[in-house]
Amino acid sequence: MTALTGSPVTDAGSPPVGRRPAPRGNRWFARVGWRHLVAVLAVLFSLFPIAFVLSAALNPLGTLSSTELVPTEGVSFGNVSELFARTEFARWFVNSLLIAGLASLASIALSALAAYAFSRMRFRGRRVGLLSLLLIQMFPQFLAIVAIFLIFTTVTDLWPAIGFNTPWGLFLLYMGGALGVNTWLMKGFFDTLPRELDESATMDGATHAQIFFRIMLPLVAPILAVTGLLAFIGTINEFLMANVFLTDTDSKTLAVGLYGLLQGDERNNNFGIFAVATLLTAIPTVLVFQFLQRYIVSGLTAGAVKG
């Protein structure tokens, strides 16, 4: 049977006459396969620095010039023992964990209290305070290094326990620098919560403290986890302010101490122990991320409607 034009009638969905269907493998690659290829290339690109650092850490020679992606000189753990024998890495590690952990917890607590007040309460100076926090964050903290240095010079003379070369002085400095951005992030999250929760709790006789700790904090768990993670990473990796305030070997943090390993002519010779130190430094950040990731997921799904 033919159509009016004389061309043969084909079944619906069948390929036109004279054209072969594309092989199944080509169709899979055009639809899905290229995404897998891009993902594999991205993973290889991200793993390349880690593989190079791991190879340098296991290099028995311990120099930058002898480091290769695939070690040819053999594998040795001598750089690990040399790191702890030649440097105060253990002390730096404890200082960084102490400062980063305490500064993160303190900044989250103070920022949550400030964000709740700005979001739920109406008082004189509220708008000016919010704008002041925003304007202050537009300028990097390092611009005030001269003023901060002069302040801590006086503080060191009067109260040496919180002055230069002490973890508590640097802790106070970090805690104040993170309040602005964390307060704004948390305030935006508090604004998304319905005010009916506050009103119903107030009708039941709850105080502001009870509303904050028992009702609001569990609901804002995701933003608490995110700000805590960002504060911890930013604090443990901070170098500029710590390099100015910490000069004694025992008081240095990981960022300042590891920078000293690559200064001057020792850059080539200390690269092996520097690679070991960077791998060990990444462990706290990975553990904190894995710990907080669980709370982020649980917080996002806690309010889901169950049928």
Contact status, residue 193 vs residue 216, Cβ threshold 8 Å:
yes
Please give the pLDDT value at position 189. 84
Please give the pLDDT value at position 96. 92
pTM: 0.77
Which residue bears the tokens 């200064």?
Answer: 263
Q: Is pLDDT above 70 for 266?
A: no
pLDDT tier for residue 169 given thresholds of 50, 70 and 90: confident
Count of CA atoms in the C-beta half-sphere (13 A) of 139: 9
- Provide, rounded to the nearest whole percent, the portion of the chain with pLDDT above 90: 4
Q: What is the mean pLDDT of residues 208-221?
A: 86
Cα-Cα-Cα-Cα dihedral sign, residues 278, 283, 286, 292: negative
Nearest-5° angle of CA 272, CA 274, CA 276?
A: 75
Q: What is the mean pLDDT of residues 248-259?
A: 87
CA-nearest of 234, 259, 230, 256 to 245 is 256
Which residue bears the tokens 């009916």?
Answer: 196
Please give the pLDDT value at position 18. 53
Q: Over the stretch 217-238, which tens digit does the pLDDT of each residue have? A: 888 888 888 888 888 888 888 8
CA distance 44 to 26: 24
CA distance 164 to 4: 95
DSSP 162: G
Q: Which of 69-78, 176-185, 241-250, 296-305 has the lowest mean pLDDT?
A: 296-305
3-state SS assignment for residue 2:
strand
Q: Over the stretch 83-122, which tens digit does the pLDDT of each residue have? A: 898 889 999 999 999 999 998 888 888 889 888 888 888 8
CA distance 159 to 247: 18
Please give the pLDDT value at position 60. 80
Q: Is pLDDT above 80 for 28?
A: no
Please give the pLDDT value at position 265. 66
Q: Is pLDDT above 80 for 126?
A: yes
Task: Please provide the DSSP assignment of 230-277 as one string.
Answer: HHHHHHHT--HHHHHH--STTT--HHHHHHHHTSGGGTTTTHHHHHHH
Q: What is the mean pLDDT of residues 37-56?
A: 87
Looking at the DSSP bridge assignments, the partners of residue 281 are: none
